[in-house]
Structure 1
Amino acid sequence: DSAIPNENHLIHKFKEWTKTDNIMEFAYSLLHYRALLDSFVIKTTDTPETWAICRYSKSMNTSSSDSNPYKDDSSRMILLQSMLRVTFTDQRRVFISPLLEHIDDYYNENIDHDNQSLQKLFDSIHEWCRSTLCKQLSNDGNNDLCQAICSAAKKGTGTSHFLMNMLDYLIWDAEHSKNNSSTCIQPLINKHKDILDKECEGIHQRIFDDFQFRYRNSIEHFFPQNPSSTTDRGEDKSEVSEELRDNIGNLCMMTRSENSRRGNLFPSAKVEQYSSSDQSLKFHIMAALLKKEETWNNNTVKKHATTMHKLLQEFLSCECDSSNCDAATEA
């Protein structure tokens, strides 16, 4: 059954089963999907919030060994699955069930896991992300996807964590595809790659190489939502109008503890304290823009919002006129 796993559904099914074949089929499926879960789905390592995918397999040299089923694209699969894992923290079954179904199709289609079947697996998971995000955006009652993106891009702390994490994944995917010739997977961002590359200028490659999804569970305002008059600005001349502070161009993900400790700092102070730590890629882009522009103001917020808006458009396969969206107006 393709429904989200639920013990109440299972009890109902048990009552329907009267033949031994039903029970044997269920037992086989249980073992089969457990094997897929163990071999193809991420697990945490001994280091907190560090993810890995490995399976136990026979080797010519030893009786057994760990191997990765995704070949040269293991890092991409780890990032994709960990993005879902940290997003749906209280609803793991929301993505685990469809993920296992897609992996099952991949496993059955080609036991050797060639490049074509691997591309198909990524396509199917990306499509699930795309449709799930579209449904999430349209839940606000806006059936126009372009307007739904505009609306979602100015919600401040109410901004979808899935949307924010998806942006980080799109940014990483574009950079990874550009610098990894061994990958066989087509990048998700092509049309707006040059715009993204321009915003990523000045970010050290190790930031992308070392990036991992963490349980960043709080929306942070780069320019503080409610700046305190007692906070020392130093030489920071940044100023963002109140109506743009909740704009996606002024937002990134952080852990709740980081946000509560330093939420009222001005942009330059945040960059000074966080630039060398494991922050979201969106934070690093905003930090690079701040350094380049030497300030953080309405224009930089709008400029960054426009880029993020275009990434979402391309991923969600919709054509929108950003100039008609007050959440992302060209600077």
Structure 2
Amino acid sequence: MMVKNVRNIKIVFSGGNIFSKTKYIIPLYQRAFAWEDKEIEQLIDDILNFETDNYYLGNLIVFERNDGKFEVIDGQQRLTALYLLLTALDIPFERDAISFEYRPKSDYTLERLRNNDEVSWRQDADSCILSGFDVVSKKILGKVEASSRTLKSAELKWKLEKVSLVRVIVPPNTDLNKYFEIMNNRGEQLEQQDIVKSRLIEMITDGMKRDAFARIWDACSDMAGYVQMHFVVAERNHYFGYDWDCYPDDSDGYYLASDKTDSTALRSISEIADSVDVTSLSTSRLDKSDEDNIRFESFLTFRHFLLHVLKIFEVEENVAEVVAKKTWSGELIDDKKLIQRFEAVFPRNKHVGKTVERFGLCLLRCRFLFDNYMLKREFSGDDTEGRWSLKTLKVSWSNSKKYAKRQPKAYYVDVTNSIASRMLQSMLRVTYTSPLVMHWTTEFLAWLYFDMDGYDSYEHSEKLENIAKAAVREYMNDGEFSTGLITPHIVFNYLDYLLWQKTKQDFQFEFRNSVEHWYPQHPIDSNVRWDEQELNHFGNLCLVSSGLNSKFSNNLPLAKKANFRNGIDGQSLKLRRMADSTTDANAWTEEVAIAHGEEMLNLIRSALELD
């Protein structure tokens, strides 16, 4: 049967789905399934929140083998995630619709995902696929962050009928090894932020300011390290002062004139699209101090950072809204609408050049504040895991006789008394994993921008805690504490912050995205089933990593404690208390769980000053 080389494939359609009559094989040269929680949750959020008649999910590049199976060249992570999603929704298709070449553990796991009542096979499963399926299942059952509605399978299935991807079949004589190498080494494609940059630059009439705006944009677009290190020395001195630590001012001479012309500043969109890499800025490095930039990783992409800054800029342009203390939550922070959002603020064919210039200053200021007072992931030496950090950039000047002029050397120091701020920011970061709902970032960055009058560590932590309290207060005021798996993650994490404050135990917030019953729903080696009210009570619940959740399975509390004590020690402080209370097989009862829950809820009530 002849198949067109390029075809639009619906994910779900009347009488079938993407896997109904087609089988895909993941070749050995492809890596195994490796998507983490944030990528999977982002995929589901994108499907749930698109507002057009149809939603395009991307390309799937395949090669048709002689046996009729499609060998996946590009797009296998997304395709496997769709397999997990359709499985969790009980949409029927053959279990071998996707198979992994020479990876029997992966195939074994895919084939058994529907056997939820059977748990013994999970010990031999592919941990990444199993963890991904657990994330999908709980995302479907749980609440949408920053929303009170519960996801319904029917709603998601209805949305999937409007979602499609384009399947491209490469010609039969294609050299697959060469093609795959090209796919992995292709240059940057034209992205929305490049289009926005080009359109904004066109609106600035002054050539010098146009060039300076382009250099500021490029420096801010590199979210690694600190923005000062993405400028040449003269620009650093101009924008940030002699020691590179001054807040950029708004004097008339704000935009720095330069004899160097930014090569991207005046190019059309089509010219940018033809280039290999439109995001890099070619600037001479006048010192070697910025080699340390690779140690720092931002939790935001530049696209999302632009959306946070744009909202702050809109408020700054409307003084009335500043006075009214605009609510920062609301619409999703959707980077797919980047062009649309900027065109609403900077309409084309309007004389908005001066407004664009002011936005350049706002962008640079926000990036300076973000770098100095907001969370980063720091990597040093051979550390591949990294740790949360709040550091500020400092510069020293050498007096070595080797140089005719003193030479700068950048180094990084912890922000003074920043432990509470770092804990609170990391708490919020791991709670709101999807960039669509990181409204806390906008709110805190706006507070730094509008309200901070000199650095005060107490004021910083107070502001961050108030952001968290607002979300926790909603849960507490509702008065229903037996919500099981849909208990908001912010409640668990804020409680851990309070416990840390109280005990100062060794503890770090990490991505723990699975709500677990300490006494299980379907216990192994016991016929004792708890009533739903006690089972799902806050006292019997804990927030754990997806990996530990899979290991816990349906073991009884004492078995969890005995077999995974080391894992528990690295988890939440609430879980550690629950494990400490489980002294023997009969120690963790309904009464003990409820008492523990009330003790923890009272700690939260006290912090929120609730009656």
Could you state the TM-score of these two structures normalised by the residue count of structure 2?
A: 0.40
- Please give the residue correspondences for 1:235-246 in structure 2 after superposition, counting only pairs within 5 Å: 240-246=530-536
Preserved CA contact (<8 Å) 1:87 1:161: yes
Distance 1:105 1:59, change over 3 A: farther
- Please give the residue correspondences for 1:1-331 in structure 2 after superposition, counting only pairs within 5 Å: 1-2=314-315, 3=328, 7=338, 8-15=340-347, 18-46=351-379, 47-48=384-385, 50-59=387-396, 63-69=409-415, 71-72=416-417, 74-90=418-434, 91=436, 93-105=438-450, 108-110=452-454, 113=455, 117-135=456-474, 137=475, 146=477, 148=478, 150-151=479-480, 153-176=481-504, 208-209=505-506, 211-229=507-525, 240-277=530-567, 278-291=570-583, 295-319=587-611
- The farther-off stretch of 217-226 and 267-276 is 267-276
Give the secondary-structure state (helix, strand or coil) at the position aligned to 1:301: helix
**Residues in 2 aligned to 1:104 and 1:296: alpha-carbon distance in whole angstroms:** 49
Give the secondary-structure state (helix, strand or coil) at the position aligned to 1:257: helix
Preserved CA contact (<8 Å) 1:102 1:125: no
What is the CA-CA distance between 1:241 and the residue it aligns to? 4.5
Letter in 1 for 2:346: F
Residues 148-176 of structure 1, C-alpha deviations (whole Å, 9 max, x = no match): 1x31x211111111111111111112223
Preserved CA contact (<8 Å) 2:523 2:554: yes
Letter in 1 for 2:560: K
Letter in 2 for 1:168: D
**Residues in 2 aligned to 1:81 and 1:284: alpha-carbon distance in whole angstroms:** 22
Asked which structure has the greater RCO (Cα within 8 Å, sep 6+), the reply is: 1
Please identify which structure carries the higher strand content: 2
Letter in 2 for 1:84: L
**Residues in 2 aligned to 1:230 and 1:294: alpha-carbon distance in whole angstroms:** 12
- The farther-off stretch of 287-296 and 302-311 is 287-296
**Residues in 2 aligned to 1:155 and 1:104: alpha-carbon distance in whole angstroms:** 38
What is the root-mean-square deviation in Å for CA atoms of aligned residues? 2.6
Letter in 2 for 1:9: R
Letter in 2 for 1:269: A
Give the secondary-structure state (helix, strand or coil) at the position aligned to 1:63: strand
Aligned positions, number? 262
Please identify which structure carries the higher helix content: 1
Preserved CA contact (<8 Å) 1:224 1:264: yes
**Residues in 1 aligned to 2:374 and 2:553: alpha-carbon distance in whole angstroms:** 35
Could you state the TM-score of these two structures normalised by the residue count of structure 1?
A: 0.71
Give the secondary-structure state (helix, strand or coil) at the position aligned to 1:265: coil
Give the secondary-structure state (helix, strand or coil) at the position aligned to 2:520: coil
Residues 134-153 of structure 1, C-alpha deviations (whole Å, 9 max, x = no match): 34x3xxxxxxx54x1x31x2
Structure 2: runs of 5 or more not aligned: 1-313, 316-327, 399-407
What is the CA-CA distance between 1:253 and the residue it aligns to? 0.7
What is the CA-CA distance between 1:270 and the residue it aligns to? 1.1
Give the secondary-structure state (helix, strand or coil) at the position aligned to 1:170: helix
Give the secondary-structure state (helix, strand or coil) at the position aligned to 1:296: coil
Preserved CA contact (<8 Å) 2:513 2:545: yes
Preserved CA contact (<8 Å) 1:42 1:82: yes
What is the CA-CA distance between 1:303 and the residue it aligns to? 1.3
**Residues in 2 aligned to 1:226 and 1:305: alpha-carbon distance in whole angstroms:** 21
Which has the larger Rg? Answer: 2
Preserved CA contact (<8 Å) 1:102 1:121: no
What is the CA-CA distance between 1:296 and the residue it aligns to? 0.5
Distance 1:130 1:33, change over 3 A: same
**Residues in 2 aligned to 1:255 and 1:93: alpha-carbon distance in whole angstroms:** 20
**Residues in 1 aligned to 2:362 and 2:559: alpha-carbon distance in whole angstroms:** 54
What is the CA-CA distance between 1:275 and the residue it aligns to? 2.6
What is the CA-CA distance between 1:92 and the residue it aligns to? 5.2
